[in-house]
Amino acid sequence: MTVVVGTAGHIDHGKTSLLRALTGIDADRLPEERRRGMTIDVGYAHLGLPDGSELDFVDVPGHDRLVGNMLVGAGEIDAALLVVAADDGPRAQTLEHLELLDALEIRHGIAVVTKTDLVTTERVAAVAGQVADFLRGTTLEGSAVLAVSSERGEGIEALRVALLTLRDRVDSAEGAGGTWGSRLAIDRVFTVKGRGTVVTGTLRGRPLAMDARLRLVPGEQTVRVRGLQVHGRTVDRATPGRTAIAVAGVAAEDVHRGMVLTDDPDVRASDRVLVRLRAPVADGARVRLHLGTASVDARVSRSGRDALDLPDGSAGAILRLVAPIAVAPGDRFVLRRPSGPDRAMGGLALDAAPARGISRRRQTVARVARLADSLLGRDRAAVHAARLELHGALTAGGRVELAPDVRETVAGGLLAEPPATVAAARAGTAVAIRRLVSLRRDEAVAAAATLIDDLVATGRLVHDGERLHLPGAAPAAEPEDDPVVAAAMDRLEAALASPTPQGLSDAAAQARCPRSGVRRLEQLGRIVVLAPDLAYAAATYAGIERTALELAARAPLTPAAFRDATGTSRKYVMAILEDLDRRGVLRRTPSGHVIGPRAGLVAR
């Protein structure tokens, strides 16, 4: 891999001149930058080292109005060069850039005192002392402080030697983590005649080869790598570092800074992210999120189950973004607020698809802290186990995996009173699973089938033809096998086919339907039980659900409007809306319920 080093510091403190002295490359690529003598956008340079390897440099603007552009560069660096002019000393943007590097938890760096040819040696020593003081209490505390003159070349060779040591430290730290796929956060897009759309950025993770297929996120469009360049040289294979990629399958106007090219399945487009913040932030706070090369407005949610104060003093929260960005668990980011103390706040993305519906009940401090710790430890197996524990169930490649506690709870209920037939066992187990975790019905049925097969394979259940029973026991009969009970079940289902059904216990008593018959109706999906004493015939409830969706598609649905449309009362309406919100069919907002993320997927 090639280590990427970013500059930081106040405007006109000599960042670009320092890189020119080090590399011979002028990172100011825009004509306006050269005319005005200041960096406006992110620039790039590279340095060949004696051992044949190279360093990449990202040059960022130092003006206070260009902090957003600074974070585009800082979001993809491994180490930092904090630049302070000897004649000026640390200034406003020195401190702000240092705060941003600290928020991103950049732990490798060198502080460089520039323009030493303009002042006395005493002044250089005084500024170097000030810089060391500035670094205390940040992630860059203890970094070397060197003095150079870019104009005279004094100290440049010592800086090159220090950069070699810095590179080795970064390599050692990165080598402990492993890689999870190829990923490039796009910072520039342009068109080259004969090559088509070209993007540049810092390649992370695994090397990238010609003809590789990558996803463009957000958007999920697939593109093909038709050309690779590293430092202006055409290559067949690019290792991590600054890379230019010619891509086939997308027009330049459909790509922009902030998008990501990747083959990592963990990277996804999301506008709702579970995060760990280095310190608590007020619920509802409006912030600007900077992640990789993307930036977007967001709101911090820290109420109810999202108010998580973690054991190490950090805080869990949900970030709600105004637009989706590409994000993966383990991504570091910065939140910036428009005013007030601690304007910059660092954080770690924990989950790009936080639990919805009933699975949100599992969002506890202990589970979120375990996920954060596993991500910081960069142990992929531990991350998967922690996320499974947090959600209760995960779906990948058509396979549903249940958390151990969910499996044991559902298996315990199944073994306590196993249904007579395999079909009944699958239906009842699927219902039991959906009472614990958020899954579509088809996903729950698949998980139920797998669980029953496992219980049979381990000898905890016996599969005899189409019948199931405990080892050593005879198969049990189903309630509907008794004509009297079957008739009672039909009567109860009919009694619940009303927008305002009577209480379930009274209806069952009048229908003379035993408790086993009620359970069987729910297992078979013939009735929907919303509360201990409230149930609907499934067909009736499906009609009510369609009505809710139609109303919510027109305008946010209020309880009063829903009550009037269904001719019911608040008692029924609130139970229905709570169920639809829990299952993700609708989503509660301050102005009413709107269409939820599972509106088109969930079917009872």
Q: Which two tokens stand for residue 144?
A: 């070397």
Is 90 exceeded by the pLDDT of residue 61?
A: no
Q: What is the pTM of this model?
A: 0.77
| pLDDT computed for residue 340 by the predictor | 56
Tell me how far apart the alpha carbons of residues 103 and 92 are, in angstroms, rounded to a whole number: 17
Encoded amino acid at 462, one letter: V
Higher pLDDT, 36 or 234: 234
Tell me how far apart the alpha carbons of residues 529 and 431 are, in angstroms, rounded to a whole number: 10
Lowest mean pLDDT among 65-74, 114-123, 557-566: 65-74
CB atoms within 10 A of CB 451: 24
| DSSP structure class, residue 264 | -
Tell me how far apart the alpha carbons of residues 600 and 584 are, in angstroms, rounded to a whole number: 10
Residue 569 burial (CB < 10 Å; 0-12/13-18/19+)? exposed
Rg (C-alpha) for the chain, rounded Å, is 30
In terms of average pLDDT, the best of 350-359, 475-484, 588-597 is 350-359
Contacts of 341 (CB under 8 A, 6+ apart): none
Per residue in 408-425, pLDDT (tens digit) is 999 999 898 777 778 888
CB atoms within 10 A of CB 240: 23
CB of 255 closer than 8 Å to CB of 189: yes
Is 70 exceeded by the pLDDT of residue 234?
A: yes
| pLDDT computed for residue 468 by the predictor | 83
Lowest mean pLDDT among 134-138, 229-233, 465-469: 465-469
Give the model's confidence band at 476: pLDDT under 50 very low, under 70 low, under 90 confident, else very high.
low
In this structure, the strands spanning 79-85 and 109-114 are parallel
Tell me how far apart the alpha carbons of residues 168 and 521 are, in angstroms, rounded to a whole number: 66
Give the model's confidence band at 362: pLDDT under 50 very low, under 70 low, under 90 confident, else very high.
very high
Q: Which residue has the tokens 């405990």?
A: 470
| pLDDT computed for residue 466 by the predictor | 73
Mean pLDDT, the chain, as a whole number?
87
Is 60 exceeded by the pLDDT of residue 106?
A: yes
Share of the chain above pLDDT 70, in %: 91
Give the model's confidence band at 454: pLDDT under 50 very low, under 70 low, under 90 confident, else very high.
very high
Conformational region of residue 8, where left means phi above 0, alpha means psi within -120 to 50, and beta covers everything else: beta
Strands (E), 264-314: 268-277, 286-291, 294-301, 308-309
